[in-house]
Structure 1
Amino acid sequence: MSNYALTTMRSALFAIPLLLLAGCDIPGLGPTPQAIARENEAKAVGSACRHALRGLEDCYSLNPKSTKALVFAGWKEMDQYMRENKIEGTPSVITQHEKPARASAQDADIETELRPATQRNRS
């Protein structure tokens, strides 16, 4: 056999397994489910910000763990959807919850009894 024929056969032997594996889904090579969930959540955050009439900068500052590019993608998709369907945004109202008072005058009148200490038999 000639040198050219041997080189061609060797190339074919290496190429056949690669061609067979090209159509397979090999576990571990794709994105993880957690990464997909984070991407979807970042897009949802962007969409919610657009619907709430928030600017991108506000959205970024309120959600620092979300990827900015994905937040922008979600914001942009929602903007296009709202323009096409003539949907008006709903302004969000962020309220701060008041902390409950520590003790009132009525609570100061309540007395509690202490239980007597019990001893255990250690036998």
Structure 2
Amino acid sequence: MSRPDTSATLLAGLLLGAGALHFARPAPFDAIVPRNLPGSPRTWTRLSGVAECAVGAAVALPATRSRGALAAAGLFLAVLPANIRMARDWDDRPTPYRAAAWARVPLQAPLIGWALRLSARTGR
């Protein structure tokens, strides 16, 4: 497997796994949906789970990999407000939980970079 294939497989797995979690354990995702979005948090949890699965599938397929990776970068950027909300809301949790919540915020930058690099390498 070449480097782009390994990178794509890992990114697709991350997205598909995260998307599946939105359905298997939706409550934690419901809790971080920004309050200013219309509708119920569960609807947004399901929609974001579908989006992550769709983007993961696009990254997994060579024919759609470049566009899928670009969409992944956009998705990672779009979930940043939810990650910030989670970190703020968890200020009353034990230190390890707070640290993990705040660690997710800057983690978005390398995820976005990873997706953009993959898109550029596999562009058609």
- TM band (smaller chain): under 0.3
The structure whose Rg is larger is: 1
Higher RCO (CA 8 Å, separation ≥ 6 residues) = 2
TM-score, L = length of structure 2: 0.26
TM-score, L = length of structure 1: 0.26
